[in-house]
Structure 1
C-alpha cells in the first residue's frame, strides 16, 4: 500500500551511468511510424532491418523437433556449447579456410554473435581501455565497448589502406595505447570487403602494438559474383592476437535460433567462457543438435541462399540505377549501402529522407546517420524481401519522390516571395 507520508521525497529510480550514457535510439521514430502505418492497414515494405525472411532447411527443422522430444535435451547445457557442435565449427574452418582449431579450447558457442561480442568486450575492456572501431559502425560495435566502460576511437573504413595507416598512427600517438581493434568484413553497414593480405597486415600491426583483435565475420556465408570473404584467422599468427565471431543467422536462415560462435585465441576464449559462466546456462541443446546438422549437411543450401540474395541485390540495384541513383552493388553481405541522390542529399538530412520514403512511399530503410556521423548521406537497404517486393519498393520510391518534388517545386516561388 503506498505511503501517505508527505514529508518523504518521491522514491527515485537511479539507473547505472552505463545506461544513461547510451544515446536515444535513432531508429525509434521510424519503428513507431512503421507500427502506426501497419496498424492503419498500410503495406510497408521493410528494407531497414536485416532480418532474414527465408526458413532454415527442412532437415534442420526436423532435427530440432526430434531433439526437442528427447527429454534429456531439456536440462541445462554447457555454456561453451556441446562438444560435437564445436567440432563441426572447427571442421568448417579447416575445410573452408585451412584453419586448424582445437574445438576444446579455441571454439565456444554464443547466443548469437552479438551476445558473444558484447560479453567479449566485458572480458577484455575496462575503465580507461580504448578500442579502435571502424566507422560507419554497427551500433553494438560502439556501445558494447561503452557498456564495458571502455573508450572508442572511430576510424573510417572506406579505404582499407588508409584504415591500416590510421591504426598505426593512432597506436603511435595515443597513450596509453589502444587495447582492442575491432574488424568487420564484409562490413556492416558499408559492405566494404577485403582480401587476405589485409588481415596479414592487421596481424603485423597487432603484434607490433600489442593490440588484441576481434573480427566480426557475420557475413561470411553471403557473397556474390565469385567473391569469397576471407577469414581473419587464416592469416599467419592471427590466432596469437585475436578471435573471430561467426553466426548461423544469415547463410543458414537461423536468425531467431541465436546460434553464434567465437573461435581463435584460447586465452580470449577462456575469458569469454568465464564471463558467460556468470551470465547464462548455454543454448537449448536441441538447437545445438540441429545446428550440427545444418553445418554438416546443408552447405549446398547456404551457397544457394547467396544466389537468392544476389538476385535480390540485382533487382534492387538495377531498379535504383534506372531512377538515376548510383550503382552501389555490394560484393557481399545482405545490405546495399546507397548514397542518397541529389538534389535530396543537399535538401534534407538522411533521417528526414528516410522518413519521407516511409511516410509517402511506404518503404522503410535505415538512415545512414544511425550508424554514426560517417553514415550521413547514405541509406542502408536490406535484401530480405523477395525480388518482386524489391521491384515494387523501387516503383514506390519513384512515385514518392516524384510527388515530393512537385510539392517542393510548388513551394519554392512562395518561399522566394516571402523572403
Structure 2
C-alpha cells in the first residue's frame, strides 16, 4: 500500500460525498429524484454576463495565463461594488484578491496564518471547507456550537483560555449555511473586539451577501472593522449571480492577510480565464438587477416549500436568508439525521443534507436546498411528509 499523508485523516468525512452515494443507489432503484442536497443554483446566468464571456473567446489576448496584474479591472470593479454597497473604501491593489470561488480563500487562509498545532475557532454546524483548510495546515479545531436558543450565534465567552492562547483564527459566516441565521452588526462589533483583544484573525465567509429576505440587509464584517485591523471577508458570485460553475469570487480585507493569501495562491494556481473575469466585472458594474431577481425567486420557493411542510404538520420556521431550509427533525430521527436522509431518498427520491454532516451540533436537523421550482418543491414537501407519516 502506498503511503499517504497523515493530514488526509481529517478529510475523510464529507456530507456531499456521503449523500452522493445514497442518491446513486436511489437512481439505480428507479426513483424519480428531486435533489435538494446541494446548494448549487439551478437558475441560468444572465445573458448580460454570458455575452461578455462569449465575446472574450474571440480575443487571443485572453487565451494565456492570467497573473495578478491582469485582474486589475475586476479588482477595481469589486472595490467599487463594495464601496457602494457598504460605504467603506478599499484599495484594489492591496486589499482585494480574486479567488476561484470563496471556498478557495477559506480553505487556503489557514495555510497562510496557522502553524501546526495552532487552533482555529469554527462554527458548528459549519461549512466543510472551513475545517478542511485547518486540517491541511496541521491545525487543531475548537468548535463553537450554534444553538437555536442563542439565535445560532456562537458564545465567544465559552472558549477556554488554554485554547485562546493557542488560537490564531476565528471563522464566521452570516447569513449562515446551514442554519440560515443572520448576525446583527452588534454581534460583529463584539467579535471584532474579541479578536483584537486576543490577537486573532477574523475571517468572514460571505457568499450569501445578497440572499436575505428581511428588510435589513446583512452587514459586512468590515463595517465593524473599517480599519481592517484583523479582518478578511470572502465573497462569491455563485449565489447572487448564479455563477457557481464559473468559480469566481474575491477577498477583501487587511492588506497583510491579502498579501499572505496571495503568496499561497501563487504556488497553488493561476487565476481563471480572463473572459470569466470580464463577465464578473459586467455583473458587478451593470448587473444590479440580477441579485434582486434571484432573491425574489428564492423567496417564492421558500414559501412554497415551508408552507407545504407546515400545512401537512411539520412546523418549520421560515428562513430569513440563504437558499436553504434548516429543519429540526421530528422523533424518532433527532439522533440520526444521516439515516433520515438516506432512507428518505431511497423511499421518495427527495435528497437532502443531514445536519450531522455539517458538525456535531447539526445532529437532529436536516438541510433542504431550494434549487427547484416552487411546484416541484411543494411536491417534494408532500413526499417528505408522506415518508414521515409512514
Deviates more, 1:210-219 or 1:172-181: 172-181
1:184 paired with 2:173, answer yes
* Structure 1 residues 80 and 49: alpha-carbon distance in aligned structure 2, compared to 1, 3 A threshold: farther
Alpha-carbon distance, 1:397 to partner: 1.5
1:263 paired with 2:252, answer yes
In the alignment, the residues of structure 1 paired with residue 14 and residue 151 of structure 2 have an alpha-carbon distance, to the nearest angstrom, of 32
* Structure 1 residues 237 and 63: alpha-carbon distance in aligned structure 2, compared to 1, 3 A threshold: closer
2:229 aligns with 240
Alpha-carbon distance, 1:239 to partner: 0.7
Alpha-carbon distance, 1:345 to partner: 2.9
In the alignment, the residues of structure 2 paired with residue 323 and residue 147 of structure 1 have an alpha-carbon distance, to the nearest angstrom, of 45
1:7 aligns with none
Q: SS of the counterpart of 1:301? A: helix
After superposition, the C-alpha distances for 1:161-200 in whole angstroms (9 at most, x for unaligned) are 9956x42442634363411110110111111111111111
1:366 paired with 2:350, answer no
Stretches of structure 1 that go unaligned for 5 or more consecutive residues are 1-11, 405-419
Q: Is the 8 A contact 2:146 2:361 kept in 1?
A: no
2:301 aligns with 312
Stretches of structure 2 that go unaligned for 5 or more consecutive residues are none
Q: Is the 8 A contact 1:79 1:277 kept in 2?
A: no
1:155 paired with 2:131, answer no
Alpha-carbon distance, 1:65 to partner: 0.5
After superposition, the C-alpha distances for 1:310-341 in whole angstroms (9 at most, x for unaligned) are 10011110011112112321111111110112
The one of 97, 102, 109 aligned to 2:91: 102
The one of 199, 205, 208 aligned to 1:219: 208
Q: Is the 8 A contact 1:182 1:215 kept in 2?
A: yes
1:385 paired with 2:384, answer no
In the alignment, the residues of structure 2 paired with residue 384 and residue 162 of structure 1 have an alpha-carbon distance, to the nearest angstrom, of 23
* Structure 1 residues 267 and 287: alpha-carbon distance in aligned structure 2, compared to 1, 3 A threshold: same
In the alignment, the residues of structure 2 paired with residue 161 and residue 305 of structure 1 have an alpha-carbon distance, to the nearest angstrom, of 26
After superposition, the C-alpha distances for 1:121-174 in whole angstroms (9 at most, x for unaligned) are 11111202111111111111112111111111001233659956x424426343
Q: SS of the counterpart of 1:338? A: strand
In the alignment, the residues of structure 2 paired with residue 123 and residue 108 of structure 1 have an alpha-carbon distance, to the nearest angstrom, of 14
The one of 333, 338, 353 aligned to 1:345: 333
1:16 paired with 2:5, answer yes
Q: Is the 8 A contact 2:153 2:183 kept in 1?
A: no
Aligned-CA RMSD value: 1.8
1:407 aligns with none
- Asked which structure has the greater CA Rg, the reply is 1
After superposition, the C-alpha distances for 1:71-128 in whole angstroms (9 at most, x for unaligned) are 1101110147611100111111111111110000000000011011111111111202
The one of 91, 100, 114 aligned to 1:125: 114
2:344 aligns with 357
After superposition, the C-alpha distances for 1:51-73 in whole angstroms (9 at most, x for unaligned) are 11011111110110101110110
Q: SS of the counterpart of 1:105? A: coil
In the alignment, the residues of structure 2 paired with residue 202 and residue 274 of structure 1 have an alpha-carbon distance, to the nearest angstrom, of 27
Q: How many residues align?
A: 389
After superposition, the C-alpha distances for 1:269-315 in whole angstroms (9 at most, x for unaligned) are 00011111111111110100111001111111211110100100111
Q: How do 1:124-143 and structure 2 match up within 5 A?
A: 124-143=113-132
Q: SS of the counterpart of 1:133? A: strand
2:186 aligns with 197
In the alignment, the residues of structure 1 paired with residue 265 and residue 160 of structure 2 have an alpha-carbon distance, to the nearest angstrom, of 30
In the alignment, the residues of structure 2 paired with residue 293 and residue 46 of structure 1 have an alpha-carbon distance, to the nearest angstrom, of 31
1:68 aligns with 57
Q: How do 1:11-90 and structure 2 match up within 5 A?
A: 12-79=1-68, 82-90=71-79
